[in-house]
């Protein structure tokens, strides 16, 4: 993956969203992305936006907590579980 994609992926994980300005800044700093990278990034961004509107159940929270105990920190699986746990604990 390109430096631009990696930078934007990290920013998406950190902020849980990306603006077009964020994308344009990264492209200006590190160069363009491939079509495949752009598609993957947009899909992840869409999934995060869609999941903002969903309520987290106690069952989902408990399952995500188990994943946090077993998954490697920083992995996609870990980050998704962490997002669920944080959302549940914040009242989501």
pLDDT at 53 over 80: no
| Distances 4 to 27, 37, 62 between C-alpha atoms, Å | 6, 9, 35
* Residue span of the structural domain in which 35 resides: 3-52
Q: Are 38 and 63 part of one and the same domain? A: no
Cα end-to-end distance, the chain, whole Å: 33
Q: Are 45 and 84 part of one and the same domain? A: no
Q: Are 42 and 76 part of one and the same domain? A: no
Q: Are 7 and 48 part of one and the same domain? A: yes
Q: Are 77 and 37 part of one and the same domain? A: no
Number of separate domains in the chain:
2
Q: Are 10 and 48 part of one and the same domain? A: yes
pLDDT value of residue 87: 85
Q: Are 9 and 33 part of one and the same domain? A: yes
Q: Which residue has the higher pLDDT, 29 or 49?
A: 29
Q: Are 22 and 48 part of one and the same domain? A: yes
Contact between residue 30 and residue 49 where contact means Cβ atoms under 8 Å apart = no
pLDDT at 51 over 80: no
> Nearest-CA neighbor of 9 among 46, 40, 49, 50?
40
Q: Are 26 and 48 part of one and the same domain? A: yes
Q: Which two tokens stand for residue 64?
A: 């995500």
Can you give the pTM of this predicted structure?
0.56
**Could you tell me if residue 91 is left (phi over 0), alpha (psi between -120 and 50 degrees) or otherwise beta?**
left
Q: Are 43 and 65 part of one and the same domain? A: no
């Amino acid at each position: 993956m390109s430096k631009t994609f990696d930078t934007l992926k990290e920013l998406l994980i950190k902020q849980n969203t990306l603006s077009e300005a964020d994308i344009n800044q990264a492209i200006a700093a590190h160069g363009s992305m491939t079509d495949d990278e752009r598609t993957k990034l947009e899909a992840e961004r869409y999934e995060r936006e869609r999941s903002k509107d969903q309520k987290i159940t106690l069952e989902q929270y408990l399952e995500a907590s188990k994943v946090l105990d077993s998954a490697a920190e920083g992995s996609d699986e870990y980050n998704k579980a962490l997002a669920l746990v944080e959302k549940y604990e914040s009242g989501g």
